Structure 1
Amino acid sequence: MSFLSRIMVIKSRAHFSAGGNNHPGDNVRGVSFEGTRKKSSNQAKSRVGIIIAGFTVAYCIIGGRLIQYGLEQPEAVSSIGRADNLMASRPDILDRNGEILATDIRTVSLYAEPHKIVDADEAVEQLSTVLPNLNQVDIYNKLRSKSRFQWLRRQLTPKQQSQILALGIPGIGFRPEKRRFYPGGSTASHILGHVNIDNRGIAGMERYIDSQGLADLAAIGMTSDAKLEPVRLSIDLRVQNIVHDVVVNAMRDYKAEAAGAVILDAYTGEVLAMASAPDYDPNQPSRTLPDGSVDKVYEEGWFSRMSNGTFEMGSTFKSFTLAMGLDSGKMTLKDSFDARNPIRMGGFTIKDFHGKHRVLTVPEIFQYSSNIGTAKIADLVGIDGHKEFLTRLGLLSKIQTELPEVATPSQPRTWKKINSVTISFGHGVSTTPLQTAVAGAALMNGGYLLDPTFLPRTEEQAAPFRHQVMKESTSADMRYLFNWNGIAGSGRNAQVAGFHVGGKTGTADKVINGRYANDLNFNSFIAGFPMDDPRYIVLTIIDAPLTGESGGRISGFTAAPMVQKIIARTAPLLGIKPKFGPNGAALLVSY
């Protein structure tokens, strides 16, 4: 019998054995079959139990690992930061009229996963066709590194992204980021400052905004995609553009090392415009040379000479000396001082640049910028009174304002008589041009000192911060002197028809390596307008000009014309109506 036939017989016998026939021995065979079936059922249940237990253990292990990973600190992978940090938003910065000064735009950055790079040499060659300034050695080393992530180039343009995508390089990718954009370029660079590659403020008002809590919010990921309230500044973009234009042109036309200007509201302390040249483009705060090094000359433009530079301000300081004499009550506008002979003191000879060699009245001392007359006024008040008055005006201490880049003035450690005398006409104390303008505002606004602000502020809001630093009568006398000098003195080149500009020039010998240079000047001019009720203060500086209007290099031919150009273009924008004729009675003037 074949093997297959035997199997069929056995199956047939088993079938009949399970049936209902009561042959002898059937009972025994039924019990045996039931035992086998029961045993198979128990085995199946055991197997299911084992499987369930296995899955339970596996899920417990997975759950435990997830909890472990959740409690651990995130690992730093190469140079990549957390996603929410990379996408951190910044608020828009607006001028006082709502014009955008700074905003965020979306961009992408190029990265590589070195373990996925097939041919590093070929990848570098292909990327160089799109990014010609790429440091090939550095990129090659990154692509051959053992890390799993490397930045290759941050903040690409859409065109660059499209061209790199077309190359089809494996292991190369893009990560979305945000980039700070300044529509005005260098127009307000020293006020706005700039951000770093990770969109963090590192200079100017950008840094100030971070210091007010934005950096902390970004660190915990609360600014990743949030719509932040814009920050409005006191700056008027129209006026700022004019001031920047005048400053840059003056530096070029007068062949100077640097130039600057500021416009200040005398009653609120608001800075409406401030520019310093040389400057830089905050969209490109650093510039790379063809050899891959950083352009240090370009980066010198970061330095704001208006707030972060200290200078001996020259004869503009005579304004404060005369105000000191008037406020002390030891002299009046009707007094006179003998300016016939030079003063010899401590091995120095103090003389007038264009001496009249006669007795001068107080207005004439101001008009002719007499060093001798000013020195005698300082001597009349005394050393302690002189130092106290300048301290009261904030000229010897660091000013308080939102802008982080503010320098501290320098002064002699010990004030002697020779120090007081030279400081009276602007030598021996170095201050920032911005704080000189702030002190000048106190001379014209009734005697109130107000710290400058780059944020909007009304007169009512400014009132709690005002400090009376001199008598109102002293301020009235100083307005008379500024106005008189603008008409008949060194301020004539700053005069603008219809706007009654008054001011004071300052021409100081430039300090080079601790010594005064005989052939280089640091020039300045402080002005107010309109002089019947000065609302705005303008201060200009020009550092080491080699020429000027009509070939002159002193303040009257350099810094004063800068004021004239600024006021002529900005006064209408600031809402100042021109006045012609006696008491402004003439409505039209024929030129």
Structure 2
Amino acid sequence: MAITMAAFAAIFCIIGARLVFYGSSTPHAPDALARPVGAARPDIIDRNGTILATDLRMASLYAEPRRIVDANEAVEKLAGVLPELDYEQTYHKLRSGSGFIWLKRQLTPRQQQDVLALGIPGIGFRPEIKRFYPGGVQASHVLGLTNIDNVGLSGMEKWIDDQGLVDLRGAGLGGSGAFQPVQLSIDARVQHVVHDELSRAMERYKATAAGGVILNVKTGEVMAMVSLPDYDPNNPFNALEKDRLNRMSAGTAEMGSTIKTFTTAMAMEIGGAGISTMFDASAPIIVGRQRVRDAHGKGRPLSLEEVFLFSSNIGSAKEAMMVGVERHREFLERMGLLSRMTTELPEVARPVQPKIWKQATSITAAFGHGFATTPLQTAVGIAAILNRGKLVPATFVRRSEEQASALAQTVVSEETSRSMRYLYRLNGIKGSGRRANIKGFRVGGKTGTAEKVIAGRYAKNHNFNVFAAAFPMNDPQFVVLVVVDDPRPERSGMGITAASNAAPVAGAIIERTAAMLGVRPDFTDDTQLTVNSLR
């Protein structure tokens, strides 16, 4: 009896000692389970250092079914904390007898704490990295998103991977904290304003979609870009839905009368026309079975200035006819409207154009019909025409004026650029851009109202509206391009053209962001505008 009692006492002493040892020591996990799932990524910051995307360390729940004592009890306990778990599927996993299974990836700290309190043997946590976007939906189409393993799927996240991050991971390099932040050209404050104003516009005009971009004319930097509807990259359950497309760079559309910016510049640059050159707009032009008319025709010859100010389709067609079909197409190609734009963002669409350009193609293209391009590259082309003829490629990362100057290509002369700045400002004062003319910032602009193509035909009362603005027009610093897709009248009696919706939205954006962008107001009177006053 004494020997038996001594043996049991010794056994319990050993067990007690081991329990004390385990309780006082730091748990040691196997290396495979100690390493975080998903490799680290560099932070993404805006031009002012605000974090737009960063890594967070999370815990993911796993099980070792071979160590599960009672699968049914384990599932019941887990379901109380994680009701989203599929009961039957989880039960079969725990009964499988395998060595390792995932139960739920990326738990919140509260969920982890509650699961720990259950005290289920054979259940554990593995550290994991989750990408987090503090701004939520604000810049989703620019930033893109990652998958559950922290690999870039779209947007600038994918671009970062394509710059060598994937290769570093493959070589086992690039742990947490090993990367410098990637600084974008985006200004988070300006991005917020654009997103806010476009969201209001969609509600106010009951539009199908909306979009906007602010482009630095001198550097080509994209200061803000929004496409609505969008998605939350922190919870991208609807990111692949068709209406979540990035319309600004990955969607093409006929840009309507904003294209007259290029037609008018072409008439001056190639056709030798001047501000006072006359074009006969007294009668419609017959193109096949169609007639090219003016929405508000004057029934008389118009000067080039009037063609632009009154947005005459007939006058624009005559400008294109002055130049000729081939030179018209070559000019649009030179302006970057007919080829796929090159920039960091992977989601960039290829413009759509006829395989063979004929006279009818050139005539309709003169006023923005017959070919489709992206809003972003339209903004880039307009910036080039207003920026003394220097075309600077768009970029989503920081770029200095010196770097931009090395990339710039001359597409029109300074004289043509000066005349176009005059016409833009004139249209902002007297024409369709009046509702975007914010005092002190000398805003110029051009509207574009294009009927949407539905089931292969142009649909009445269904418009794709665009307004391209620039400011200040004496020396443009920024181009703002706003899109409102298929709007309804704001109230009874109001129209659905770009002047009624896209223009005031652009004006509201300029009014709220000009100070953020560093543009100082100038309240001197410039209504007595001349071409020479913009030298």
TM-score (norm 2): 0.90
Q: Does 1:105 align with 2:56?
A: yes
Indicate the residue corresponding to 2:222 in structure 1. 271
Indicate the residue corresponding to 1:155 in structure 2. 106
One-letter amino acid matched to 2:299: H
Cα distance in structure 2, aligned partners of 1:84 and 1:326: 65
One-letter amino acid matched to 2:373: T
Cα distance in structure 1, aligned partners of 2:85 and 2:458: 47
Q: Does 1:415 align with 2:366?
A: no
Q: Deviations over 1:406-457 (max 9, x none)?
A: 1110100111111111111111111110000000001100111111001111
One-letter amino acid matched to 1:515: R
Cα distance in structure 2, aligned partners of 1:231 and 1:126: 43
How far apart are 1:85 and its partner, in Å? 6.9
1:393 corresponds to which of 335, 357, 363: 335
How far apart are 1:302 and its partner, in Å? 4.3
How far apart are 1:87 and its partner, in Å? 4.6
How far apart are 1:341 and its partner, in Å? 1.1
Indicate the residue corresponding to 1:444 in structure 2. 386
1:474 corresponds to which of 410, 416, 420: 416
How far apart are 1:464 and its partner, in Å? 1.3
Q: Does 1:177 align with 2:128?
A: yes
**Which runs of structure 2 are paired with 1:462-541 in the superposition (5 Å)?**
462-541=404-483
DSSP-derived class of the 1:107 partner: strand
Instruction: Determine if contact 2:206/2:488 at 8 Å carries over to the other structure.
Output: yes
Distance 1:382 1:81, change over 3 A: farther
One-letter amino acid matched to 1:306: M
Cα distance in structure 1, aligned partners of 2:305 and 2:77: 75
Indicate the residue corresponding to 1:459 in structure 2. 401
Distance 1:142 1:384, change over 3 A: same
**Which runs of structure 2 are paired with 1:162-201 in the superposition (5 Å)?**
162-201=113-152
Cα distance in structure 2, aligned partners of 1:561 and 1:81: 58
Cα distance in structure 1, aligned partners of 2:462 and 2:500: 14
How far apart are 1:82 and its partner, in Å? 8.5
DSSP-derived class of the 1:521 partner: strand
One-letter amino acid matched to 2:45: L
How far apart are 1:330 and its partner, in Å? 3.1
Cα distance in structure 2, aligned partners of 1:241 and 1:342: 45
Instruction: Determine if contact 2:64/2:101 at 8 Å carries over to the other structure.
Output: yes
Cα distance in structure 1, aligned partners of 2:392 and 2:227: 22
How far apart are 1:471 and its partner, in Å? 1.2
Distance 1:164 1:495, change over 3 A: same
How far apart are 1:462 and its partner, in Å? 1.0
Instruction: Determine if contact 1:84/1:224 at 8 Å carries over to the other structure.
Output: no
DSSP-derived class of the 2:362 partner: helix
Indicate the residue corresponding to 2:12 in structure 1. none
Q: Does 1:246 align with 2:197?
A: yes
Q: Does 1:567 align with 2:514?
A: no
Q: Deviations over 1:534-559 (max 9, x none)?
A: 11000000101112377321100111
DSSP-derived class of the 1:582 partner: coil
Distance 1:396 1:123, change over 3 A: same
Distance 1:300 1:131, change over 3 A: farther
Cα distance in structure 2, aligned partners of 1:451 and 1:101: 23
Q: Which 4+ stretches in 1 moved above 6 angstroms?
A: 80-83
How far apart are 1:140 and its partner, in Å? 2.7
**Higher mean C-alpha displacement, 440-449 vs 81-90:** 81-90
**Which runs of structure 2 are paired with 1:249-398 in the superposition (5 Å)?**
249-286=200-237, 299-300=241-242, 302-398=244-340
Q: Does 1:224 align with 2:224?
A: no
Distance 1:427 1:510, change over 3 A: same
Cα distance in structure 2, aligned partners of 1:113 and 1:481: 73
One-letter amino acid matched to 2:405: A
TM-score (norm 1): 0.81
Indicate the residue corresponding to 2:24 in structure 1. none
Instruction: Determine if contact 2:46/2:183 at 8 Å carries over to the other structure.
Output: yes
Cα distance in structure 1, aligned partners of 2:384 and 2:285: 31
Cα distance in structure 1, aligned partners of 2:270 and 2:526: 32
Gaps of 5+ in 1: 1-79, 287-294, 585-591
2:372 corresponds to which of 430, 435, 456: 430
How far apart are 1:146 and its partner, in Å? 4.2
Distance 1:172 1:440, change over 3 A: same
How far apart are 1:582 and its partner, in Å? 3.0
One-letter amino acid matched to 1:540: V
Q: Deviations over 1:199-243 (max 9, x none)?
A: 111111111111111111122321233431111111111111101
Indicate the residue corresponding to 2:521 in structure 1. 578
Root-mean-square deviation (CA, aligned residues, Å) is 1.8
Distance 1:301 1:115, change over 3 A: farther
Distance 1:299 1:167, change over 3 A: farther
Indicate the residue corresponding to 2:494 in structure 1. 551
Cα distance in structure 1, aligned partners of 2:415 and 2:176: 56
How far apart are 1:160 and its partner, in Å? 0.4
Q: Deviations over 1:122-175 (max 9, x none)?
A: 322222221222223332332233431111111100000011111222221110
DSSP-derived class of the 1:174 partner: strand
DSSP-derived class of the 2:379 partner: helix
Distance 1:162 1:516, change over 3 A: same
Q: Deviations over 1:287-306 (max 9, x none)?
A: xxxxxxxx57x744642111
Larger radius of gyration: 1
Cα distance in structure 1, aligned partners of 2:53 and 2:470: 31
How far apart are 1:83 and its partner, in Å? 6.6
One-letter amino acid matched to 1:260: G
Cα distance in structure 2, aligned partners of 1:429 and 1:115: 64
Indicate the residue corresponding to 2:10 in structure 1. none
Instruction: Determine if contact 1:85/1:224 at 8 Å carries over to the other structure.
Output: no
Instruction: Determine if contact 2:271/2:323 at 8 Å carries over to the other structure.
Output: no
Instruction: Determine if contact 1:312/1:429 at 8 Å carries over to the other structure.
Output: yes
Q: Deviations over 1:324-380 (max 9, x none)?
A: 111014311111111111111211111111111111111111111111110111111
Distance 1:331 1:82, change over 3 A: farther
Cα distance in structure 1, aligned partners of 2:261 and 2:144: 32
Q: Equivalent pairs: percent with the same residue?
A: 56
Instruction: Determine if contact 1:501/1:528 at 8 Å carries over to the other structure.
Output: yes
Gaps of 5+ in 2: 1-30, 528-535
Cα distance in structure 2, aligned partners of 1:312 and 1:398: 15
One-letter amino acid matched to 1:389: F
One-letter amino acid matched to 2:184: L
How far apart are 1:116 and its partner, in Å? 1.8
DSSP-derived class of the 2:333 partner: helix
One-letter amino acid matched to 1:196: N
Distance 1:116 1:513, change over 3 A: farther
How far apart are 1:574 and its partner, in Å? 1.0
DSSP-derived class of the 1:528 partner: strand
